[in-house]
Amino acid sequence: MNETASGTAERLVRSRVLRCGPSALVDPWAGQHRDEDHRRRQLIDAFNELDSMAHQVEHRFVELGPDACDRERVHGEVLVAEAYRMVGGPSGDLQQVQNQTGELRRLLRQITSDGTAAGMSQAATPPMLSFATSRI
Residue range 72-116, pLDDT digits in tens = 999 999 999 999 998 888 767 899 999 999 999 999 999 988 754
| CA distance linking residue 63 with residue 115, whole number of Å | 10
Q: Which residues span the domain enclosing 18?
A: 1-32
Q: How many domains does the chain have?
A: 2
Do 23 and 43 fall into the same domain?
no
Do 9 and 55 fall into the same domain?
no
Do 61 and 5 fall into the same domain?
no
| CA distance linking residue 1 with residue 7, whole number of Å | 10
3-state secondary structure of 35: helix
Up-side HSE of residue 11: CA atoms within 13 Å toward CB?
A: 6
Do 78 and 124 fall into the same domain?
yes
Do 10 and 59 fall into the same domain?
no
- Residue 65 carries which DSSP code? G
Output the furthest CA–CA distance in the chain (Å, rounded): 90
Of 7-21, 39-53, 66-80, 91-105, which range is least confident? 7-21
Report whether 117 contacts 61 (CB < 8 A).
Answer: no
Q: Compute and round to an integer the Cα radius of gyration of the chain.
A: 26
Do 2 and 51 fall into the same domain?
no
